[in-house]
Amino acid sequence: MTSQTRRPVTLIAATIAIVLLIAGAFGLWYLFFRPAGPAAVGSTAAPLPSVAAGASAGPRTGGIGGTWKVDTSIGSFSDFSDSFVGYRIQEELAGIGGNEVVGRTPAVSGSMTVAGTQVTDATIEADLTGLTTDDSNRDRQLARQGIQTGQFPTATFKLTSPIELGSIPADGRSVDVKAKGQFTLHGQTRDVEVPMKATLSGDSVVLTGSLPIVLADYGIDKPNSFKVLSIADSGTMELQIYFTKS
């Protein structure tokens, strides 16, 4: 083999070695140094809105009875101290290994009606086109794969049975409830029961909860790409919603 023949071969080998080195370095960063994703809803208490000095605890007028609307002015999406709906699911990446994907959208709307100690009506709608993870390429893929936000841009929950609170919770205290209703995702509607925690803080209420989701139940095909080897058959829907009495 002449020196001229060896030169291209050596160049190709060096290029391959550099690519492998970069891939290996990325894998180490991804596994050990990449910032951890947001904690699961319910693993810590939801941030409570601050009550202005001198303000009385609880809703300003008329107790808790009446209509409460989703308040997107509370908190910030940068630290997830706001209202959001999202998902978490396991994926397997080529050359890297397992990873838990967490996606959330702050584009949430809806309302609930309280009479006495019961929540008699509630509807929550999330704009899934606003779902954000730690990978913008993955987010763009969701428009045409998986939950296909380009075709099915919203998810909704509609309460079908009253929620009994038992008593009016003291300010800053939480009550555990179960919300029975219909959940619509990917154009498919299912009867569900979502365990939730309701906390009264000043003139606001925050609801947190999560629901296991089996992809096949909602006609969702697993997304695929050259770097994703597999995705779990099920994941979790999460929500953290702040309401203010209107």
Residue 9 has pLDDT above 60, yes or no: no
Q: What is the CATH number of the domain that holds 123?
A: 2.40.128.110
Q: Are residues 135 and 219 in the same domain?
A: yes
- What does the angle CA 125 – CA 193 – CA 245 come to, to the nearest 5 degrees? 45
Q: Is residue 43 part of a domain?
A: no
**Alpha-carbon torsion 94, 95, 98, 99, what sign?**
negative
Q: Determine the pLDDT at residue 21.
A: 41
pLDDT in tens, 137-159: 889 989 999 999 999 999 999 99
- Which pTM does this prediction carry? 0.80
Q: One-letter amino acid identity for 168? A: I
Residue 172, Cβ neighbours under 10 Å: how many? 13
Residue 140 backbone dihedrals phi, psi, to 5 degrees: -65, -35
Same domain, 179 and 63: yes
**pLDDT (mean) for 20-39:** 47
Please name the residue that has the structure tokens 């706001």.
Answer: 82
Three-state DSSP state, 19:
helix
- Percent of the chain having pLDDT more than 70? 76
**Is the pLDDT score of 169 beyond 80?**
no
Same-domain check for residues 62 and 153: yes
